[in-house]
A and B are shown apart, each in its own frame.
Chain A
């Protein structure tokens, strides 16, 4: 079944078809949540909540980009999760930094450098405002087009451009001060 068929079957109440869609998009949704929240446990919670909410509301999906729709729901779940964390701040047990799998082509030094860079970037992202962070993550990490970012964030293209521009500039300044290798 292709995506459209999976969606229409899901709307009919076929959970297996919906879970096919979950398998297609869960890594993307989880990545966005992880980059937004900077914590694996919180990201898992937000992602699960997002897919649960998507399943409950699948009938409300009126066509267009399913990816953007899922990302929009994930963005809302991240916002809720952030609010929840702000209300009840916890030091999660599993908030260890993420260790990316090593690539067969890279040396241990390169791997360590990549891991370190990843942590720097994650710290830099958390210094951005919620909107700028979301725009930069969607555009530069998730690879969404400006139009898709606008759909996810429910704002105009001009606003997206401005958020991406300011977010990147802010991040660049942070990296400069932090001494992160920019090349």
Chain B
């Protein structure tokens, strides 16, 4: 009973204390005022609470007004330097950077090549440095091995040379056939070949070549596709006396026969991208100049703003 009485009294105190601030400010309605005053009459604790709250408010009211040491008048706004130029400059910089990225992308994806000459035959005089040159030797396929292929094949040997050991190692690793091209006096390439299983009997330097049927696209190695290679195929290349190169299977069956006198030099033109480089450098320079101008203008505006505010 006593506990219940104490609890309800505490509850009353809590409710009253929530209202005390409004009471001090005279912001309560008449009902609330009557309630607070009735409670204050009987509760010394809340009375003390109200007095201390009132004293706190009085203390705050007495707080001296601080006087600013300067005026906060706003000075006339001078038009910021280059107010209109900056957005245009930013836009232009962004545009140039975008163009530059596009030029880089074009450069990287090899989209631009020398027009009209790619893959075509042209004389060695027309082959420029940097062009990808190769020898093409006409040959025949033994159609009894794979009747699905055309009888006519081409042997393609990149011009220039590579490391002998690497080429031999590559022969045993992946079954790709390598040969050597050494231009003779009459500019007809001589293939000096290997014998046995990856054992080089060659001299000079080896480069990779590809055998492709005439009908197929260039680019595939030794055989145009996997089905054309017999499962027991072990490439052995033998040079014949005279002008022929035969590629034999492991049981000495002739798979391909090439007439070395019927060879010509071809080239895939190097990408003619000098203009692209010039464009890239130009754009890079332009982007740098525009970007620097934009940053300089922005800094000037910032300084101008700071002066305005101070």
Q: How large is the interface on B (under 10, 10 to 19, 20 to 34, 35 or more residues)?
A: 20 to 34
Task: Output the least CB separation between B17 and chain A (Å).
Answer: 8
Interface contact A26-B71, CB-CB below 8 Å: yes
Q: Which of B38-91 contact A (CB under 8 A)?
A: 52-53, 55-74, 76-77
Interface contact A180-B71, CB-CB below 8 Å: no
User: Residue on B with the closest CB to A18?
Assistant: B74
- Total A-B Cβ pairs within 8 A: 103
Please report the C-alpha to C-alpha distance between residue A172 and residue B67 in the assembled complex, in whole angstroms: 26
Interface contact A23-B71, CB-CB below 8 Å: yes
Task: Output the least CB separation between B58 and chain A (Å).
Answer: 8
Output the residue of B69, B72, B76, B77 with the most chain A CB within 10 A: B72
Question: Is B217 among interface residues, defined by CB-CB distance under 8 A?
Answer: no
Q: How many A residues, CB 8 Å from partner?
A: 45
Residues of B within 8 A of A19 (CB): 73-74
Q: Which of A16-31 contact B (CB under 8 A)?
A: 18-19, 22-23, 26-27, 29-31
Contact of B60 among A23, A31, A141 (CB under 8 A): A141
Residues of A within 8 A of B22 (CB): 161, 165
User: Residue on B with the closest CB to A45?
Assistant: B309
Question: Is B18 among interface residues, defined by CB-CB distance under 8 A?
Answer: yes
Task: Output the least CB separation between A121 and chain B (Å).
Answer: 6
Interface contact B27-A161, CB-CB below 8 Å: yes
Interface contact A27-B56, CB-CB below 8 Å: no
Interface contact B57-A140, CB-CB below 8 Å: yes
Please report the C-alpha to C-alpha distance between residue A141 and residue B64 in the assembled complex, in whole angstroms: 9
Question: Is A171 among interface residues, defined by CB-CB distance under 8 A?
Answer: yes
Interface contact B74-A52, CB-CB below 8 Å: yes
Question: Is B20 among interface residues, defined by CB-CB distance under 8 A?
Answer: yes
Please report the C-alpha to C-alpha distance between residue A176 and residue B65 in the assembled complex, in whole angstroms: 24
Question: Is A15 among interface residues, defined by CB-CB distance under 8 A?
Answer: yes
Task: Output the least CB separation between B252 and chain A (Å).
Answer: 84
Please report the C-alpha to C-alpha distance between residue A95 and residue B199 in the assembled complex, in whole angstroms: 89
User: Residue on A with the closest CB to B22?
Assistant: A161
Question: Is A126 among interface residues, defined by CB-CB distance under 8 A?
Answer: no
Residues of A within 8 A of B59 (CB): 117, 121, 175, 180, 182
Contact of A48 among B20, B56, B69, B309 (CB under 8 A): B309
Contact of B309 among A52, A100, A169 (CB under 8 A): A52
Question: Is B21 among interface residues, defined by CB-CB distance under 8 A?
Answer: yes
User: Residue on B with the closest CB to A103?
Assistant: B64
Question: Is A130 among interface residues, defined by CB-CB distance under 8 A?
Answer: no
Interface contact B309-A40, CB-CB below 8 Å: no
Interface contact B71-A22, CB-CB below 8 Å: yes
Q: Which of A147-175 contact B (CB under 8 A)?
A: 161, 164-165, 168-169, 171-172, 175
Please report the C-alpha to C-alpha distance between residue A176 and residue B248 in the assembled complex, in whole angstroms: 108
Q: Known contacts A51-B72, A52-B309: does B67 contact A101 (CB below 8 Å)?
A: yes
Besides A141-B63, A165-B18, A171-B56, 17 more A-B contacts (Cβ < 8 Å) are A22-B72, A23-B71, A27-B68, A30-B68, A44-B72, A55-B74, A100-B64, A101-B67, A114-B64, A117-B62, A136-B60, A141-B60, A141-B61, A161-B21, A164-B25, A175-B56, A182-B55
**Shortest beta-carbon contacts, A-B, top 9:** A100-B64, A165-B21, A140-B60, A182-B55, A30-B68, A19-B73, A172-B56, A26-B72, A55-B74
Binding site for B on A (CB under 8 A): 15, 18-19, 22-23, 26-27, 29-31, 34-35, 40, 43-44, 47-49, 51-52, 55, 98, 100-101, 114, 117-118, 121, 136, 139-141, 146, 161, 164-165, 168-169, 171-172, 175-176, 180, 182-183
Cross-chain pairs A/B with CB under 8 angstroms, 29 sampled = A22-B73, A27-B67, A30-B72, A40-B66, A43-B68, A44-B68, A44-B70, A48-B309, A55-B74, A101-B64, A114-B64, A117-B59, A121-B60, A136-B60, A139-B25, A146-B27, A161-B21, A161-B27, A164-B21, A164-B25, A165-B22, A168-B56, A168-B57, A169-B21, A172-B55, A176-B52, A182-B52, A182-B56, A183-B58
